[in-house]
Structures are given as C-alpha cells and as structure tokens.
Structure 1
Amino acid sequence: MDLLPLRVSLVLLLWTLSAVASTFPFAVSYYSPKRPACRAIPSTMALCHDVGYTEMRLPNLLGHDTLKEAQQQASSWVPLVSKRCHKDTKRFLCSLFAPVCLVEFVEPLPPCRSLCEVVRDGCVPVMSAFGFPWPEMFNCSQFPPGNEMCIPGTTTGSKGMDDRLEEHAKMPRCDACRPFGDAEKEMQQNFCQHDFMVKLKVKESHINGGNRKVVPEGPSLVILKRLNRVEEEEINRKAFLLQKGATCTCGELLEPSTTLLALGRKAGNKLLLNRIMGWHTGDGELKRFLQGIRKLQC
C-alpha cells in the first residue's frame, strides 16, 4: 500500500489542526451565536460527495461558519478516506464538516459515539504508522451514546435511525410554524382572534399522542385578550399543545434558549398553540412590542 501521499497529507493536516485549535477547539457546538442555515454541499467539497444527502448545515459541528472554511478544512481528510481504513470514515467526517440539514432540527445532528469509535479503531493504525494520534477534536466520548438522534454507522442496527432521518426529512412543516411575511405585524393583527399570546423558552418538546407537548422553561409571560391577572398567573406555568404536531416539523420548538412568541386558544383545560415565531431581536424591541399588544382593544 502506497502511504507516501497519506504521509504528506497527514503532516499538513496535523499542522492545520494545531494552527486552528486555538480558534475553534472542538466541542459539539449546539449553541452557535450565528443563526443556522441550510446550504447545498458544493461540488468542490470532495470529501462529502455521494454522502447520502445534498444539503449541509452551517455553522457545522467544528465551528465553521462559511462554506469556504468548511471546504478548506475538509480537504485535508480526503486522503484518509481514500485509504479505506473503515467503510464509514466519510460518513463520520461529513457528519462533522457537512452535517445533514433537516428543517425540524435547529442544531446539527452529531455522529453517534459508536460511529466515531469504529472509524477511530479502523483508522488509528494507519495514522499511528507515521506517529500521528487520533485527534482530540474527534474525541469519541463527546458524542451521544446509544441509538439517540445522532448519525449512526452503516453496521447492523443503524437502518432504523436512517429511516427516522429520512422520514423526518419528508415531513411537512406545521401550519403553526409556517414562514411569516411581516411576522410582528401578523402576530399583532391576529392577536384579537386568539385567546392569548405567550412568550416562552422551551425546556422540553415531545410527542404526546398525535400532538406535540411543549413544556416551558420556567414561567411563561401570558397576555390575555381580556385583562384577567388571575387567569394569566394560572396559565403561565402550564404546558402547551401543538395539535397534530407528531406529523409535521417545527424547528422553533427544538431551538434551545430562544425566545418564542405564540398565539393560542383555550380548549377546556388545554392550551393550544396556533402560530409560533422566534424572536431574534433585542429585549428592548420585544418589550415595546408586548406593550403594544397589551394596548390593543379587542
């Protein structure tokens, strides 16, 4: 086996990693300051050709914010993939450099720990032949264990997760979360047709029957159509329901630490969310917006 090209590439790779380590020491970055976006995997990103999907998320799991940066760093790993030290090497690397873009997952899906471990165990002998260790930036212990929502290997038992990802990718977007034109204007115009507006951050969101249950992080701020302080206090610690939320996607409900505004209705003892938007501008603007809502005469 001709390893000379690999030797040269690994030398360049290790130099690159040491040079950029202080810029973005690897950790699965679920809370990037930049809004996530889907981008087509460019034809010039050779590492991730024919990886099974065509759109990637930025920022990626290595902290790259631009396609140019992701491509440059990914190119260093192409020679290792060509040595076929493990059949899932490309799958693992691309889950980090070019994570799959699914609309209902606001953050990139990380590789499963088991995927990292089998690739590491297969490729370490090739790298160590030249004195290169498995990079700390790929430390497998930081990835989720088990068959959670993560990218599995192609070994037995991974098909179920692949099917789940494919199923999620095909799910329609929930009506309550469909894109707005002028979001603030629409929320204001529709307030009087609903029973309440709520400001919240999501602690937990999970399927409940055919619906999706939304559990707030701490008390919510509730604004009723008609002033009733007692009822506002009763509502502000309750969970909400997105009807038929098990059959559609709503990335806003999966985005951690983001302020959401929602319009809803009461149905007996249930609180149903009908329109949801993320609030991404400042607290001052939000305060003024909510003050304007409170002044509406319904």
Structure 2
Amino acid sequence: MCNGFNIGKGSLPNFFQQGDPKMIAKEMENFRLLLRSNCSPDLRFFMCGVYKPFCPSNNRPIVLPCRELCEEVKMSCAAKYRELYNGLRWPSKFQCHRYPFSNSTRMPCKLRDVIDADDDQPFIPTGR
C-alpha cells in the first residue's frame, strides 16, 4: 500500500506504538475500500505517513503528516467513510488535533517534501 513513495525508511514503532509490520499491514488493509473510493488524492499518503512514519535519512527525525493534510483528507473522506463502513464515524486515530501544524516545527510535515532515499524498508532504531 505504501510502495511507490520515494520516502526513505519507515520508522517503527509507528505513531500508535505499533511495531509489528504484519499487524500494521493488517490494520491498514481495513481501509482498502476507502482508498479505492478515491475520496482524496492524499489519503494513501496520509495513512502511510501515520502507520509507517517516514525517515528521510538515518540522521534526520521521522516526519509525521501535518494537521493541514489531515484536515484536507478528513474533509474529503469522512462522508465516504461513513457510507462504506455502516455509519461509523471518522476513526479516532485520525483525529487531526494529534498532528503538528505545518508551521509549528522546523521539520517538514508535508511528506511529499521529503524525498531522499532508495528503499522502502522500515528503519528500526538500534539504540546506538
């Protein structure tokens, strides 16, 4: 689902403290219908940034989606989510107050701006 972004390495654990790539993939699969709906051109990008935070390089911090991106995706997709998932509300995991404003940090939070790597393998810090 997150292939195709030249985003560097992903960092585990993710934003939700999930560290098992298989469990992350299984949870992301729950959103396949929403992704196929094309409700937002940025939905896949947003979800990949949340579930598999991008690490542009080993010496730079992870990059989370910014609040503005979250709000754009939510505005475009919340109604479609309710329709596809039997009236369920937008997932609490994707509440936009959780994410930084694009101007509140010196690191970039629009993930498209951080292209710097050649593989899509997760970066798991070794503690060194």
Q: Normalization by structure 2: what TM-score?
A: 0.76
The aligned counterpart of 1:104 is 59
2 CA distance for matches of 1:66 and 1:93? Answer: 16
Tell me by how many angstroms 1:57 deviates: 1.0
Aligned-residue sequence identity (percent) comes to: 26
The aligned runs of 1:1-298 (5 Å cut-off) are: 47-53=1-7, 55-101=9-55, 102-106=57-61, 108-129=62-83, 130-147=86-103, 148=105, 149-152=107-110, 162=113, 165-166=114-115, 169=116
Structure 2 unpaired stretches of 5+: 118-126
Write 1 or 2 for the structure with the bigger share of strand.
1
1 CA distance for matches of 2:44 and 2:80? Answer: 15
Tell me by how many angstroms 1:146 deviates: 2.7
Q: Are the equivalent residues in 2 in contact too, given 1:114–1:153 (CA < 8 A)?
A: no
1 CA distance for matches of 2:111 and 2:58? Answer: 22
Letter in 1 for 2:101: P
Letter in 1 for 2:22: K
2 CA distance for matches of 1:116 and 1:72? Answer: 22
Q: Are the equivalent residues in 1 in contact too, given 2:82–2:88 (CA < 8 A)?
A: yes
Tell me by how many angstroms 1:150 deviates: 4.2
Task: Look up the SS of the partner of 1:49 in the other structure.
Answer: coil
Structure 1 unpaired stretches of 5+: 1-46, 155-161, 171-277, 281-298
1 CA distance for matches of 2:39 and 2:74? Answer: 9
- Judged with a 3 Å threshold, the aligned counterparts in structure 2 of structure 1 residues 99 and 153 are, in CA distance, closer, same or farther, namely closer
2 CA distance for matches of 1:153 and 1:122? Answer: 19
1 CA distance for matches of 2:40 and 2:17? Answer: 25
Cα deviation 1:8-27 (Å, max 9, x = unaligned): xxxxxxxxxxxxxxxxxxxx
Task: Look up the SS of the partner of 1:86 in the other structure.
Answer: coil
The answer to which structure, 1 or 2, has the higher relative contact order (CA under 8 A, 6+ apart) is 2
The count of aligned residue pairs is 114
Query: What is the CA RMSD across the aligned residues, in angstroms?
Result: 2.2
2 CA distance for matches of 1:150 and 1:138? Answer: 19
Tell me by how many angstroms 1:75 deviates: 1.4
The aligned counterpart of 2:121 is none
Letter in 2 for 1:137: K
1 CA distance for matches of 2:111 and 2:54? Answer: 14
Tell me by how many angstroms 1:51 deviates: 2.6
Letter in 2 for 1:133: R
Q: Normalization by structure 1: what TM-score?
A: 0.35
Q: Which has the larger radius of gyration?
A: 1
2 CA distance for matches of 1:99 and 1:69? Answer: 15
Task: Look up the SS of the partner of 1:61 in the other structure.
Answer: coil
